Amino acid sequence: MPDTDINAPGISRQQFVSRFGGVFEHSPFIAERAYAASLVTGALTASHVHAALVASFRAASDEERLGVLCAHPDLAGRLAISGELTRDSREEQSGAGLDRLSPTEHARFTALNTAYVEKFGFPFIIAVKGLDRDAILAAFERRIGNSRHEEFSTATAEVEKIARLRLSSMLP
């Protein structure tokens, strides 16, 4: 059945979660709750599904949202090197050139990843689509000076942007 012919009332919970459960990295509970709460109405479009998933994400507890943040991989980190990223994360990081770092750039990302996680308790998250290594590195260096509260808010907003970009590639 084509995407544009599916309406939320006509898709099962299992189909919805199977299709959109990975939009928020390794956090299918976001899609499960959005479906259970009947947050998706009308045609399945990127904007409708995004609004439903974001409402579910924002309704989650701080601890649950922290879990979503922690489910994201480090940029150019161990999972990228070992080839263990999700398909979406791999494509996003590759598109920003993070799979082609020089040894010096890789060392800088590794040092920043370590310092960031030690300070905030979750990985640095940024919607990398449309950004290059230098822009990502500049944001990394700027944001590491934030307070934990500021950075939690920024990281959750970035997760929502990533979700929108992922949904835009899946739906009209």
Q: CATH no. for residue 30?
A: 1.10.3330.10
> Do 60 and 78 lie in a common domain?
no
CA–CA distance, 59 with 51 (Å, rounded to integer): 12
**Over the stretch 114-148, which tens digit does the pLDDT of each residue have?**
999 999 999 999 998 888 888 999 999 999 999 99
**Over the stretch 46-82, which tens digit does the pLDDT of each residue have?**
999 999 999 999 999 999 999 999 998 777 655 445 4
Mean local confidence (pLDDT), 144-153: 97
- What pLDDT shows up at residue 100? 76
Alpha carbon 1 to its chain centroid, in Å, reads 27
Question: In terms of residue numbers, what domain contains 41?
Answer: 3-65
Identify the active-site residue in 48, 50, 72, 106: 72
Chosen domain end from 45, 65, 85: 65
- What pLDDT shows up at residue 8? 58
Residue type (1 letter), 127: A
> Do 60 and 12 lie in a common domain?
yes
pLDDT over 90 at 156, yes or no: yes
> Do 48 and 77 lie in a common domain?
no
Structure tokens at 33: 């709750």
> Do 105 and 30 lie in a common domain?
no
> Do 50 and 88 lie in a common domain?
no
What is this structure's pTM? 0.85
26 is a catalytic site residue: no
> Do 24 and 91 lie in a common domain?
no
Chosen domain end from 19, 41, 65: 65
Mean local confidence (pLDDT), 98-124: 89
pLDDT over 90 at 106, yes or no: no
State the residue for tokens 């700027």: 142
**Coil, strand, or helix at residue 2?**
coil
Number of domains in the chain: 2
> Do 102 and 151 lie in a common domain?
yes
Mean local confidence (pLDDT), 8-18: 85
Mean local confidence (pLDDT), 103-113: 88
> Do 106 and 166 lie in a common domain?
yes
Burial class (CB in 10 A: 0-12, 13-18, 19+), 57: buried
> Do 77 and 59 lie in a common domain?
no
- What pLDDT shows up at residue 138? 94
Burial class (CB in 10 A: 0-12, 13-18, 19+), 52: buried
pLDDT over 60 at 86, yes or no: yes
> Do 78 and 163 lie in a common domain?
yes
Chosen domain end from 65, 84, 103: 65
> Do 18 and 52 lie in a common domain?
yes
> Do 152 and 80 lie in a common domain?
yes
At 83, the pLDDT band (50, 70, 90 cuts) reads low
- What pLDDT shows up at residue 60? 98
The Cα-based distances of 144 to 91, 125, 159 in angstroms read 25, 11, 17
Structure tokens at 96: 């920003």
